[in-house]
Amino acid sequence: MRRTTALRTALSAVLLVGAWAGAGFPSATAADTPAAAPRSTAAEPASSGLLAAMRRDFGLTETQARTRLAAEKSATALEPRARHAAGNAYGGSWFDPSTGALTVAVTGTEQAAAVRATGATVRLVTHSARTLDAVKAKLDRLDAPAGVSSWHVDPKANTVVVNVARSARADNDVRAFVSRARAAGPVTVEQAAGSPQTFAAGTVGGDPYYTGNVRCSIGFSVHGGFVTAGHCGRAGASVRGWDGSGIGNFQGSSFPGDDYAWVNVGSGWWTVPVVLGWGTVSDQLVRGSAVAPVGSSVCRSGSTTHWHCGTVLATNETVNYSQGAVYQMTKTNVCAEGGDSGGSFISGDQAQGVTSGGWGNCSSGGETWFQPINEILNRYGLTLHTA
């Protein structure tokens, strides 16, 4: 999907820079095939290409895909009001694609009535979100062995879930960690099919951006640069584009603990609010960063495997990479592979985060985590470039 010189000259600035600096550069393996122009009609919930991707990855009809996107948008807008109505009894929330509704867990019947009045579905639970968050915080202070993949608060199960690699269930260090975790409060242990790894890769040739001999993917444009994964480069490292020209430098980077970074843009590069669709979908305009609830659909754009969709499985999960734990991550069942690191996670037209790592691949499936975008923006005082 690389643009020729003549094509670059002919395209509008918005499409040109959207492909270059929005969220991944054109692929050297699909020469001279231009991506479709982004749809700019605010009334449309998504482009026809995005709807096609949802039909492919979720097995939906176009009408069902449109209905789901509209329901997810309503649930995202409702969640803050429902949370406020629940007060200290709030136990978490999630989107239920089978009903198209936002479900809110609460610990008290009085607060349940207040939440129902907002239009949300209610489930009574034993533990509040504050209690579960406190348990997870205790686990965050423990040293986790490599066999422990991750842990997060599961509002549906009303517990903290610890994921253990299948091959490490009998490991003494893993058993000791699980024992300490259960002593901290309501904890459930689940088996993980694989261990998380970051998705950086050596130079494969041609696309998105490079630092040293590592290729990663651009996440989202911010005013003055773009955000990406922290494990892709340290502060001060220079960054080159798909054509080998200099883009800028890592201005800030954090990994492990976090997995985010931002790169300034100069030397003739500039930014627009676009995520590359790789010809699978139209290039997607970015209009904000409202957080999609658990259960919502989410799609990822990356330089290796391009465009794939899935579902938000968990939020605020701690991921135990071999380099160290990363906190406050969001887990999805979207696939990814080496070189996709730093790429965009988007729900509808709302930026969600940058690809960190996971397990599996796009042939057999897997799970991928992303670092939420709003945390990155707040950490570095950045402003998301929106349409």
Q: What residues act catalytically? A: 231, 259, 341
Residue type for position 267: S
**Neighbour-count burial for 272-290, b at 16+ CB within 10 Å, e otherwise:** bbbbbbbbbbbbbbbeebb
- Tally of CB atoms within 10 A around 364: 9
Contact status, residue 30 vs residue 277, Cβ threshold 8 Å: no
Contact 248, 54 (CB under 8 A): no
Q: Residue 194 is which amino acid? A: G
Cα–Cα distance measured from residue 297 to residue 332, given in angstroms and rounded to the nearest whole number: 9
> Residue written as tokens 């590069």?
269
Helix axes 129-140, 172-184, angle to 10 degrees: 150
Backbone φ/ψ region at 206: left (φ over 0), alpha (ψ -120 to 50), beta: left
Query: How far is 65 from 56, CA to CA, in rounded Å?
Result: 10
Are residues 286 and 275 in contact, defined by beta-carbon separation less than 8 angstroms? yes
